[in-house]
Structure 1
Amino acid sequence: MSVPLSVLDLAHVAEGATSGDALRRTIEIAKRADAAGYLRFWVAEHHNMPTVASTSPPVLIAAIAGQTEKIRVGSGGVMLPNHAPFVVAEQFAMLEALHPGRIDVGIGRAPGTDQMTARALRRDGGQEGVEQFPQHILELLAWFGDNRLPDPLANYLAVTPNGDTQPELWLLGSSEYAAQLAGLLGLPYCYAHHFGMLDPVKVMDEYRARFRPSPALEEPYGMVCTTVIAAETAEEADFLAGPARIMQIQARSGRRLPIVSPEEAATRTFDVRERSILAQNSGTRFLGEAGDVTERLKAFVVETGAHELMIASSTYDAEAKARTLELVAANWA
């Protein structure tokens, strides 16, 4: 299959480990993904969550890009309402200058946190950023050389350093709004199927239907991010997926705790409400023996018409996640 593979990582904090451990683990996984031939490695912005260490994507991107060779590195995503667009433009211009041709800036509209933290990040709680999201996207595009505004700030205020190449800008989301906006602006789009509840086929159809050619993109380019755990056997994969089930239940219950071990997860029992949560999303949408999982992923790509597939995994240790990536890559070709 010619469709490229990419990776999303949230720098999950394992029970008994530190945030520093989680960040170092993410860098090691990125190095394994680079060696396995993955196209992109993205990290997400989350705040005030004990289970996630990735609070500042630009800082983590710099660390990852500095220890990898070919893989593109980016944000999946930066939550734009939390930040002044000029700050984001400068951060990613710096990253692109340091690593030309390897930086992506994926942009999301959600705060990526609770409202109290949103107010701490931006005094208005990011509300202005949400309301002006399309305008702020166009401002970012102007600073990256894609000028569609009649009189953009980029005419008076330049981002530095100003390199020969520009980061690639993506829109991300789990709603039809993001798909529609990406299409109308003619930008590449990634649907967050790893937690989104919409039908990915319909979302990607909506993106393509709304697409208008732009200076950034002549034809639609869509990616779907989904959750995968692959192993040598289906039984092993199911065992490794236990922690993701616990995380899914905790997230829906408003509790975000460090990820437990598969041994600990195997001792848990679920009540009726928890089983209902797992029936909607078990935390791992594609699970099983590597060959079987890869064939189902290929069918998923054909069904959605995705141009690229991004894989996320919630596992207790780095080896299980890296092994999933390597097994899928080995079977993909």
Structure 2
Amino acid sequence: MTHDLASPLASTAPSSPSAATRVPLSVLDLSPVSDDGTSRDALLATTELARAADRLGLHRFWVAEHHNMPAVASTSPAVLIAHLAASTERIRVGSGGVMLPNHPPLVVGEHFAMLEALHPGRIDLGIGRAPGTDPSTAAALRRTTEGLGAEDFPRELLDVLGLLGQQHEEETGRAPSPFVRRFSATPVQGSTPEVWLLGSSTFSARLAAALGIRFAYAHHFGATQTMEAMAAYRAEFRPSAQLAAPHAMISASVIIADSEDEARYLAGPSRVMALSLRTGRLGPITDPDTAAEVLEKLEGSALEQVLAQLPGTQIATTTERAVDELQDLVDRTRADELLVAATTYDVATRVDTLERLVRAWV
């Protein structure tokens, strides 16, 4: 169930879910690898989920970037996006996100310019500041031994935007960098990807606001600054040529079943995976029975306390209660869109959750 969040915006929220207009629904998928499957199986499952999301009329389908994790097959968002966009018909496909510390801006700009040329009007570029992996792998991925500092990330983000023709001197208060004056992303743009800044802190929220771009808050794994970040983004937003008013998305981890007990049972593998990530005991995602045994053995232990104190949130419940909790989250954060993620042992559970949610999200 979700953690309770004090809401400084509560007074602006609709008085009840029925009084609110439902915001668009989208999907984030990590391509989880099961303990009896392969990375190929995981990527094919992500393709199946994307097709289901397309069929169900969802707005976006995003894939993550994680490295050196046995439980996650999604390492190269641009490659996977190309496949998923070609495998679907109308849904927007994007990154949740590309981890900018791992890539030169020119590479990011050219990858997404090409994706947009191939699938015009359907590509999202979500950019993140974290490396998406452990420190040793991050060091192997990065282009310098020091990585990106606090000042480097905004500059490189501006370079990506500039390469895509989305930042101008009058908006940023600074002339384009020599890099942007020298290079442009190719293929030559007929249209441009929709750019989002992702984050789980007020830093990313304020940077997105200053640049006048869309902002997505990762509430599903970092709920500690949700309200502050969403409020800061709206309060400090500066209009740009691409975006006249703030536009924010909130994410949530959601697993839906016929009963509370069944939903918690199906959510067990994701809880064990989350604990594995925090304790450095990485491995493929286990089946629900095995996960239940692991969680039972944790009762009364220090690791149970670690699990209870993880900063993310998860909604594992029935359809009606899930819709109520999600609408409450949207109301409190004033989000314009909702991004749902579900790490489950099998894709059938993820598809079933989407089908139940879409039927009720009216």
TM-score by length of 1: 0.96
> How far apart, CA to CA, are the structure 1 residues paired with 2:146 and 2:245?
32
> How far apart, CA to CA, are the structure 2 residues paired with 1:208 and 1:162?
33
1:41 and 2:61 are equivalent in the alignment = yes
> How far apart, CA to CA, are the structure 2 residues paired with 1:33 and 1:147?
32
SS at match of 2:308: helix
* 1:1-333 → structure 2 map (5 Å cutoff): 1-125=21-145, 127-128=147-148, 131-149=151-169, 150-152=175-177, 153-268=179-294, 269=296, 270=298, 271-281=300-310, 285-333=314-362
Measured at CA, do residues 90 and 186 of structure 1 come closer, stay the same or move farther in structure 2, by a change above 3 Å? Answer: same
Measured at CA, do residues 283 and 191 of structure 1 come closer, stay the same or move farther in structure 2, by a change above 3 Å? Answer: closer
1:283 CA displacement: 6.5
> How far apart, CA to CA, are the structure 2 residues paired with 1:90 and 1:262?
41
SS at match of 2:97: strand
> How far apart, CA to CA, are the structure 1 residues paired with 2:145 and 2:357?
40
Query: For the Cα contact (< 8 Å) 1:118–1:125, is it kept in 2?
Result: no
Single out whichever of 149-158 and 245-254 deviates more from structure 2: 149-158
> How far apart, CA to CA, are the structure 1 residues paired with 2:142 and 2:228?
34
Q: Output one character per residue of 1:144-193: Cα deviation in whole Å (capped at 9) or x when no partner.
A: 11232513433332221123110011000111111111111111101111
> How far apart, CA to CA, are the structure 1 residues paired with 2:302 and 2:232?
33
Q: Which amino acid aligns with 1:318?
A: V
Query: For the Cα contact (< 8 Å) 2:206–2:233, is it kept in 1?
Result: yes
> How far apart, CA to CA, are the structure 2 residues paired with 1:118 and 1:144?
26
Measured at CA, do residues 237 and 92 of structure 1 come closer, stay the same or move farther in structure 2, by a change above 3 Å? Answer: same
> How far apart, CA to CA, are the structure 1 residues paired with 2:359 and 2:342?
17
1:272 CA displacement: 2.8
Unaligned regions of 5+ residues in structure 1, if any?
none
> How far apart, CA to CA, are the structure 1 residues paired with 2:142 and 2:180?
22
> How far apart, CA to CA, are the structure 2 residues paired with 1:201 and 1:20?
38
> How far apart, CA to CA, are the structure 2 residues paired with 1:308 and 1:25?
24
> How far apart, CA to CA, are the structure 2 residues paired with 1:78 and 1:118?
14
> How far apart, CA to CA, are the structure 2 residues paired with 1:316 and 1:284?
18
1:273 CA displacement: 2.0
Q: Which amino acid aligns with 1:286?
A: I
> How far apart, CA to CA, are the structure 1 residues paired with 2:304 and 2:82?
40
Measured at CA, do residues 274 and 34 of structure 1 come closer, stay the same or move farther in structure 2, by a change above 3 Å? Answer: same
Single out whichever of 323-332 and 262-271 deviates more from structure 2: 262-271
1:81 CA displacement: 0.8
Measured at CA, do residues 147 and 248 of structure 1 come closer, stay the same or move farther in structure 2, by a change above 3 Å? Answer: closer
Aligned length: 333
TM-score by length of 2: 0.88
> How far apart, CA to CA, are the structure 2 residues paired with 1:251 and 1:27?
25
Measured at CA, do residues 126 and 7 of structure 1 come closer, stay the same or move farther in structure 2, by a change above 3 Å? Answer: farther
> How far apart, CA to CA, are the structure 2 residues paired with 1:213 and 1:293?
34
Q: Which amino acid aligns with 2:84?
A: I
> How far apart, CA to CA, are the structure 2 residues paired with 1:294 and 1:209?
28
> How far apart, CA to CA, are the structure 2 residues paired with 1:283 and 1:183?
24
Single out whichever of 156-165 and 251-260 deviates more from structure 2: 156-165
Query: For the Cα contact (< 8 Å) 1:109–1:130, is it kept in 2?
Result: no
Q: Which amino acid aligns with 1:108?
A: G
1:291 CA displacement: 1.7
Single out whichever of 75-84 and 205-214 deviates more from structure 2: 205-214
Identity of aligned residues (%): 50
1:79 CA displacement: 0.5
Q: Which amino acid aligns with 1:107?
A: I
1:211 CA displacement: 1.1
Measured at CA, do residues 28 and 282 of structure 1 come closer, stay the same or move farther in structure 2, by a change above 3 Å? Answer: farther
> How far apart, CA to CA, are the structure 2 residues paired with 1:14 and 1:284?
22
1:260 CA displacement: 0.3
Single out whichever of 261-270 and 115-124 deviates more from structure 2: 115-124
Measured at CA, do residues 183 and 177 of structure 1 come closer, stay the same or move farther in structure 2, by a change above 3 Å? Answer: same
> How far apart, CA to CA, are the structure 2 residues paired with 1:293 and 1:73?
25
> How far apart, CA to CA, are the structure 1 residues paired with 2:113 and 2:290?
44
**RMSD (CA atoms):** 1.6
